[in-house]
Structure 1
Amino acid sequence: MKNILFTLMFVISIGSFAQTSDQELNPNKWRVGGGIGLGFGSNDYFGFSISPSVGYEITPMIEAGVSAGYQYSKWSYAKQNLFNFGPYVNFYPVDFLFLRSHFEHYLGTHTWQSSNPDVSDLKENYDESALWLGGGYRSPGKVSFHVGIMYNVLYKENSSIFSTGLRPMAGVSFGF
């Protein structure tokens, strides 16, 4: 099922870009952006994330692109490295609102560090897909800020790397 959804999203993204094949890609329709996160908390928690993206305005109402990301988290006795990548499609029914479909695949590890030198660390590998659907607000212009919320329709409560199917999102993009 995950492979079918990934293939479907990939074909939709490529098909969206292919619609422009009769004309040259307009250099003024590219958007580059993403987000950066930093967090601190109890149990010596530290977290860092970065998620760059690049998109192309196919029509004034549709943008398609790809994103990648990296998340690092460390607690007193654990650490996590998580990579993600995937295509997205944004639909803008009006200038300041957007709807988003974003497929992402996540790969990574979570390591629990043992305080006992005679016991080895426990390591778990992650390999999970997510299909995020949602929307939000975006500011118009060459420099655009967006904020919204998405839901992972592939979320499974007892077997997911995510604690919830909901995810807030915020970021900045630059058009050129």
Structure 2
Amino acid sequence: MATNFGKWRVGGGLGVSFGSNDYFGLSVYPNIGYMIAPRLEGGVTAGYQYSSWKNAKSNLFSFGPYMNFYPINELFLRGHYEYFTGNSKYKGQSGSYSYDEDALWLGGGYRSGGKVSFYAGAMYNVLYKENESIFSNGFRPIVGVSVGF
């Protein structure tokens, strides 16, 4: 498999979102991976997410390793540990609220073939705790582009 796609993969995702209460979100998630075995890729990701609402602004940073297993070229299973740290600032308040959270994402998805590939899938954070998490639920989509060399 490494001969078809290259041993190294560089890619990531970019997102823009809008919503109620004047919500605006921008996220950037680069990653770099290496084929350590014919069907096993290991790598690291970093991320940044900016969010603003009518009365608040938030910055969220993340970093962590991942492993992808490809049972066939187009399908992957993923394990991804990610550490999140960030802060929120609310209008009318002098300070900000800081937070940290660990996530262990398990999931999978589909990847198109070739040196330039598009991928999409879903993951679930097995460490997610309702009412204690910075996230509204434990699910996360995976969407992005990667280039092999």
TM-score, structure 1 length as denominator?
0.80
Structure 2 unaligned blocks of 5 or more = 1-5
1:78 lines up with 2:51 in the alignment:
no
Q: Determine the structure 2 residue equivalent to 1:128.
A: 101
Task: Note the 1:104-123 alignment, pairs <5 A.
Answer: 104-114=82-92, 120-121=93-94, 123=96
Larger Rg: 1
Task: Note the 1:59-74 alignment, pairs <5 A.
Answer: 59-74=37-52
Q: Determine the structure 1 residue equivalent to 2:15.
A: 37
Which structure has the highest strand share of the two?
2
Which structure has the highest helix share of the two?
1
Q: Which has the higher contact order (CA 8 A, sep 6+)?
A: 2
Q: Determine the structure 1 residue equivalent to 2:74.
A: 96
SS at match of 1:140: coil
Structure 1 unaligned blocks of 5 or more = 1-27, 115-119
Quote how far apart the aligned CAs of 1:126 are. 1.1
| CA displacement 1:156-176 (0-9 Å, x = unmatched) | 101100100011110000001
Q: Does the CA contact (< 8 Å) of 1:33 and 1:172 recur in 2?
A: yes
Quote how far apart the aligned CAs of 1:123 are. 2.1
SS at match of 1:144: strand
Q: Does the CA contact (< 8 Å) of 1:113 and 1:122 recur in 2?
A: no
| CA displacement 1:31-82 (0-9 Å, x = unmatched) | 0000000111222111100000000011220000000000000011001100
Amino acid at match of 2:78: R
